[in-house]
Structures are given as C-alpha cells and as structure tokens.
Amino acid sequence: MHRVDLFPTHKYQGLKLRTGRPYPFGATVIGNAVNFSVYSRYATDCTLVLFHNREEKPFIEIPFFKEFRLGNVFSMMVFDLDYENIEYGYRMDGPFCPEEGHRFDKSKILLDPYAKLIVGRDVWGKQPNWDSLYQYRARVVFDDFDWENDLPLETPVNDLIVYEMHVRNFTCGAAAGVKHRGTFAGIIEKIPYLLELGVNCVELMPIHEFDEFENFKPSPIDGHPLYNLWGYSNVGFFAPKAAYASSGRFSMQVDELKNLVKRLHANGIEVILDVVFNHTAEGDQRGPYISYRGIDNKTYYMLTPDGYYFNFSGCGNTLNCNNPNVRDMIVESLRYWVTDYHIDGFRFDLAAILGRDQNGNPMSNPPLLESLAHDPILGKTKLIAEAWDAGGLYQVGSFPSWGRWAEWNGKFRDSIRRFLKSDEHVLADVKERILGSPDLYASQLSSFGGTGRGLKASVNFVTAHDGFTLMDLVSYNSKHNEANGEDNRDGENNNNSWNCGWEGPTDDADINRLRHRQVKNAVTLLMVSQGIPMVLSGDEMGNSQQGNNNAYCQDNEIAWINWNDLEKNADIFRYFKQMIRFRRRHKVLRYDDHLSHTDYRNLGLPDFSWHGVKAWHPESGYNNLTAAFMLNGQYTTPASVVGGFPADTSPLSPPDDFIYVAMNMHWEMHGFELPHLPEGLAWHVFANTGMEPPADIAVPGEEPLIDNQHEVLVGPRSIIILVGKETR
C-alpha cells in the first residue's frame, strides 16, 4: 500500500510542496518529504529558509502559503530533499512592539525551537564566523538508532548512587588516558572506572546544545579564553551539544550520545540529565536573536508589564514555563529524551521557576509540575528538583511533588558541612539529615499526593558542581575565584568550609592527614544516610579546583579532573569505593520509608536507635559533637515474612546485619559504649576514619571482629562503622 497524501500539490522555484501536518512540531521525515511545522501565536507571516550544509547563503526561501496554515501553526511538506545536506531556519514577520511583548524581526533567520540536531558549534572552542546570518543551524535528524533490547533501567530510586559529572571536565585532563577527550565517547572509555568505583547512575551536567562562546572573554590571570564551560544556557531543548561528541564535526552527536546511554545501560548505569528549563541563551533585550525571541517572544518569555524580561534565573530572561504552549514544549522535550535517548531521569535546574505563573508569582498547584508528575511516558522517570531559584523562592521540603518529585537536599549539604567543621549548633539538624530528612519529607500537604514522600524524596550531597569540591572544602576557608574575571565577587560566600589550618595546598603532613580524614568523614556521612547519595565527580580522588568554587568558565586544569590524583590520593579512592560497596550491600542503609524508632514487630530491638557515648543515652556526649546510631538489619525483611521471628525469614530476603555508626567531630578522642547485640552476633569493624590506610576501611563482608565488644574509642574528628553479624 502507498499513501495517497504524499503527492505534491504546489511547486515553488523548482521545489515540490504540499500542505504540511501541523503535528508534530519540528522537522519530520515522512516518505520522500520533510514536514516542517512551527507555531507562533503572534506572527503574521513565516518563511522557510533552506541552506545547503554550512553555506552562508540560502538556496531557497519558501513562504508558507495561506493554505499551509492551521490555527497558529505554519506547516508544509517539501519533497525530494537530500536532507542530510540541508540546514533549515525560519523568518517570522509580525509586530516589533517591545512594550507589548513583541520583537518580530524578519531580517533574522531563526532556529526551530523543536530542532533535534543543531550544527554551528561543532568542535569545542573553534571560532565560528561571527558575521554569519544564521549561527545555530537546524538539521533534520536521523532518529533510527538501533537500541536492540535497551530500555531505561528503572533502578529503584533508593538504590541509586548518583555521580554528578561534566562531559568535558571528566576526561579532558591530560592524564585521563582516553582517546576521545572531553566527549561522550570519552565517557564510554571510562565505564570500567565507573564500575570499579561502584556508582550506578551518572548525572550529566547540561548536554543540550549551548554556545561555549556566550559571554566569552579572556582570563585576567593569563589571557586564556573563559568559555561558558558548564552550559547552563540552552540554545535548544531537543538537541545534544554537538561539541560534546567526538563525531560532532560530522554532525553525528545524536548517535554518539545514544551509544553512550546504551553502553552505560549495558553496564547497569543509569543516565540522568541536568536540564535547564528556566531560561535560554538569548539573554535580555540586549541579547541575540537565536530562536524564541524571534519566533514568539511573548509566548516563550516571562515579561514585565512594560515588556522587559523577568530575571528569576539570574541569566537575563525567564522561560515562560506555565504558558500552556511552553509547558507543552517542555513536556515534549522530556518525553523525547526518554523515548529517543532512553534517559532514566532529569534534574531540573532552578526548578522553583517551573512553579511560577506567567507574572512570576509562585503557584500553589503548578500545572507544569503536575503534568510532569502524572505524564505517562515519564511514569517511571526520576524527577529531581533543584528546589530553589535566583528570585528568592526556596522550596526544599515543600516542592510540589505529587509523590513523584525528589529534591536536591540543600539542607543536607549545609548541616553536614557544619558538623564536619565541628559546629556545636547543628547536631539536631544532622540527625534529621541522616534519617533522610523526615522533618522535610515525612509529610506533605494532601493536595500534593497525600502521605509522606518517603526517603526517595531526598537527594543527599555534600558537594555538587556549584561550590567547592570536597578536597577544596577541607582546604580553603574562602573562595578563590580571581581567575573568573569578576574580582572574586562571583560564587557562593557561605561555604561552611574549613581549611584544617592552612589556606590551600601545604606540605604539612598533619594537615594533609586531617584533610584526608575529613574527606572520608564526609563520604561516610553521605553513604550511611537514608535517601539518595550523590557524589561530585572527582571527589573520589580528592580533585581540587584550586579553591575556585564557581568554575563555570574554567575550561582548563582548574575544572578538569586531574586523573593523577587517583594515584596521589589512592587512599581516598579506595575509601570511596569500599564505602559505596558497603552501601550497596546493606539494604538497611537504603530504606523506602522513614524509620519508626520503635520495635514495632517485637524483634527485640527498634528499627533505628540513637546513642551517645553511653549506649541508649543519646543525650550523653560532648557539646553536640558526638553521636551514634544503630540500624537493625532484621527490619529489612518484609513484615509478613518475619512475623516476629527472624528465624522464619525467607531465604530470598535474609535479614541484613546490624550497623552501628559512632561520630566524633570533637577534636579529642571519646569512648563510645556499644549497645548489646542479639545472641550469636558480634561487632566487627568496617571503617575507622581515624586509622591510617589500609586500616581505615575493610572490604565489605570481610570486616574483622573487634576484641572489645563493650566500647570503641573514636579518635578526634573520626567516624567508626561497626557491623553486627555472626562470627565465622
């Protein structure tokens, strides 16, 4: 059978045309035609502009005839295009009337907001032709990647160990030892490393197309170029960053990224994308015309009553997320990444903006967030909010979730950092964080899904791309961002960091020992806390950014991971690796629901208990700098199986071990009295950050028995983890 509606009805300058299909938006191959469809509520006319690849001048401009319009959509089919060799754009005509929100300019050639393949910045740092009329150029995508049997992994949320990574920073360093440095293919080469570390999810900092030359300037220190390295500035919401693909020069970034996802999945590693739906790269009224401003300014942007750009993002403009059409675009973009790229989850940058109405006011039931929470295609996709914005909205603990959204738990970061530097006023808060922040997530208003959000709502982290690396957190009291060219004014001032006695690198062995111990303390607290742990890439080898806590523009050794650190800080890597294995081994560290602190099944001991330097006396200790807790592994079995008798447990889900953690952030040693274990079990030591390697950590499952079963001595600023299990 052949379709009867794929015959041309029009001819224009030698090209054969037909009325297009308004849906889907973008450029779609249908038979021997390409269907071009674009909407604009306020445009009066639209022209399709076609180029041969990389040519400055278009070879044809085709107006959308009256019969090519339906509602506010312009669509046409163009037949017999060699679409591998076509770039397309639009000219939009309409009012230029900024005070009413309109900025149409038909002299500009505009990128399709639904472009799935964008060229023009194909090789990182290669100067484009700045005089070119059309900078970021849409192409028709090949969407027939052969996934074989791959699908998103759907790993249970509480089993995730997230590894936040930047595509360039991860493998650009000279010592990375990969063939394709700084690219998707480079990450593939490092999969064995990720497996050894033990993480099962990579969160990629923005990989949507952006322009590294945005706000490009020379460094005040040595004149090298300061690029937009991080890419929190979208050119397109449907296209991958070309220059992140080693094959970007051949415009094969789509296949290369898909291959990365497929290969990670084959190794049990999920992929979360950091997505930036709060603003675009067009900036404010002084910025360039890339797409949205010229296609339909009033639809895409939140505008002040006099037509200027609201700036809740801190980046010049704010995407009009709760305009119904923009909302649809966001939903379509996310569906596309899940459907076509098999993406497992998204982390939404400055997500609080997604809950603001078209005038910028926070909404109580934001329709966009509700749509995403209930979307069928995103039904098992992880949704993680950075629950604040640059306009002062802070929603950690109150982000509208409908039981689906998790949050970057900024309070975990702040409390744990303060505890690490021996702040005596934070222990009560630290206890909440270790428990998965029940104060924030154990209940939420019924309108957002009824009962508590559970432990899967909290993404715990001590460090992330914003701020110090973990090694810098224990090496610097203040930020050192001079190289960013803003006189050290940029970046967070309130870091809760402590340099351990000297600002920056030192040869002092005692200070360096303490720094290593503090790094280990930090990852210990992260891995023994309930919730979803997230590690900043490079922290596992003590990577430093030389005190720069905002390295967004440092496309050099400052931000690139120094793989030589892997050898230099071998003890840190080993500690991370075993700590991650320990967490993955012990279900008792990865509960679904908040703990009850009671023995509700009459097993003899509660599911969770706080202790002090005296067992069962949490109040006993030193100035809020000491605390201990015990997790009861018997509670990891399903209630119906246990029935009050641990011996009855199913062989498929044996009870976990007991885990006891003693934390001493005081600068002196303290003895901790140990709680008694049930008959037949004894305490074994898994980790002691106060010990020199290799005695600082054991291989999980091979922990040595401790002689004294009644008390442990925990050294200054140290943490001990004991495992209560049968002695073999």
Partner 1 sequence: MNTEIYKLGEELDSFNYQEVQDGILAILEKGCSAVLDMTACNYVSSTGLRVLLYTKKMAASKGLKLYLVGVSAEVKDIMDVTGFDGFFDTFDTVEECLQQIQ
Residues forming the site for partner 1 (CB under 8 A): 82-85, 142, 144-146, 180, 183-185, 188, 245-247, 250-252, 255-256, 258-259, 262-263
Residue 252 or residue 331: which is nearer to partner 1 going by CB?
Answer: 252
What DSSP state is assigned to residue 28? Answer: E
Q: Which conformational region is residue 494 in: left (phi greater than 0), alpha (psi within -120 to 50 degrees), or beta?
A: beta
Residue 12 or residue 83: which is nearer to partner 1 going by CB?
Answer: 83
Residue 255 or residue 407: which is nearer to partner 1 going by CB?
Answer: 255
Contact (CB, 8 A) for 274 and 285: no
Residue 188 or residue 470: which is nearer to partner 1 going by CB?
Answer: 188
Q: How far is the CB of 85 from partner 1 (least distance, A)?
A: 6
- Specify the 3-state DSSP secondary structure of 531: coil
Q: Report how far residue 656's alpha carbon sits from residue 582's, in angstroms, rounded to the nearest whole number.
A: 12
> Across-strand partners of 213?
none
Q: How far is the CB of 210 from partner 1 (least distance, A)?
A: 21
Q: How far is the CB of 174 from partner 1 (least distance, A)?
A: 20
If 0-12 CB within 10 Å is exposed, 13-18 middle and 19+ buried, where does residue 196 land? exposed
Q: Report how far residue 355's alpha carbon sits from residue 336's, in angstroms, rounded to the nearest whole number.
A: 22
Q: How far is CA 191 from CA 164, 200, 541, in A?
A: 14, 11, 16
- Specify the 3-state DSSP secondary structure of 464: coil
Amino acid at residue number 712? V
Q: How far is the CB of 338 from partner 1 (least distance, A)?
A: 19
The torsion angles phi and psi of 585, rounded to 5 degrees, stand at -80, -30
Residue 85 or residue 564: which is nearer to partner 1 going by CB?
Answer: 85
Tokens of 289: 């015309």
Residue 188 or residue 343: which is nearer to partner 1 going by CB?
Answer: 188
Residue 28 or residue 246: which is nearer to partner 1 going by CB?
Answer: 246
Q: How far is the CB of 172 from partner 1 (least distance, A)?
A: 16
**Can 472 be counted among the known catalytic residues?**
no
Q: How far is the CB of 53 from partner 1 (least distance, A)?
A: 10
- How many Cβ atoms sit within 10 Å of the Cβ of residue 694? 11
Residue with tokens 């030359």: 213
Residue 263 or residue 335: which is nearer to partner 1 going by CB?
Answer: 263
The residue among 192, 187, 218 whose CA lies nearest residue 204 is 187
Residue with tokens 């060699």: 82
Contact (CB, 8 A) for 334 and 290: no
The residue among 325, 717, 703, 340 whose CA lies nearest residue 521 is 717
Residue 245 or residue 420: which is nearer to partner 1 going by CB?
Answer: 245
The residue among 279, 412, 277 whose CA lies nearest residue 348 is 277
Contact (CB, 8 A) for 674 and 711: yes
Q: How far is the CB of 230 from partner 1 (least distance, A)?
A: 23
Contact (CB, 8 A) for 531 and 726: no
Tokens of 81: 């295009």
**Helix (H), strand (E) counts: the chain:** 15, 30
Q: Which of 349, 466, 565, 656 is labelled catalytic? A: 349
DSSP secondary structure, 627-667, as one string: EEEEE-GGGGS-HHHHTT-GGG--TTSPPPPEEEEEEE-SS
Q: How far is the CB of 247 from partner 1 (least distance, A)?
A: 5
Q: Report how far residue 167's alpha carbon sits from residue 180's, in angstroms, rounded to the nearest whole number.
A: 11
CA angle 204, 342, 151 (to 5 degrees): 130
Q: Which residues contact 10 (CB under 8 A, 6 or more apart)?
A: 16, 17, 18, 65
Q: Which of 164, 256, 282, 386 is labelled catalytic? A: 386
Q: How far is CA 152 from CA 47, 267, 277, in A?
A: 39, 12, 22
Q: How far is the CB of 83 from partner 1 (least distance, A)?
A: 8
Q: Which residues contact 138 (CB under 8 A, 6 or more apart)?
A: 27, 87, 88, 89, 111, 112, 115, 117, 118
Residue 228 or residue 259: which is nearer to partner 1 going by CB?
Answer: 259
Contact (CB, 8 A) for 198 and 162: no
Q: How far is the CB of 179 from partner 1 (least distance, A)?
A: 8
**Can 386 be counted among the known catalytic residues?**
yes
Residue 183 or residue 688: which is nearer to partner 1 going by CB?
Answer: 183
Helices (H), 421-489: 427-434, 438-441, 470-473
Q: How far is the CB of 255 from partner 1 (least distance, A)?
A: 4
The catalytic site residues sit at: 349, 386
